[in-house]
Amino acid sequence: MDGYILAHDLGTSGNKATLFDAGGRLVQSTVYSYGTLYHHDRWVEQDPAAWWDAVCATTKELLEKTGTKPGDIGTA
């Protein structure tokens, strides 16, 4: 497989996006933080739009920092 693998880990406090080469080696990684709302002692809420913003922002950042073209992600 040629190209790259882009992985997103949407966690409690933010999204960690990581770019790997076809051999599984780390190329670049970045993090985008977002908020968590605590309305009550046992209620936790996040805005799905913040997740999407995080995915878009980190993807764009990784592509720009590494000079990777979108078409190079996930190619076989």
pLDDT beyond 80 at 20: yes
pLDDT beyond 80 at 75: no
DSSP 39-75: EETTEEE--HHHHHHHHHHHHHHHHHHHT--GGGBT-
Name the pTM for this structure: 0.86
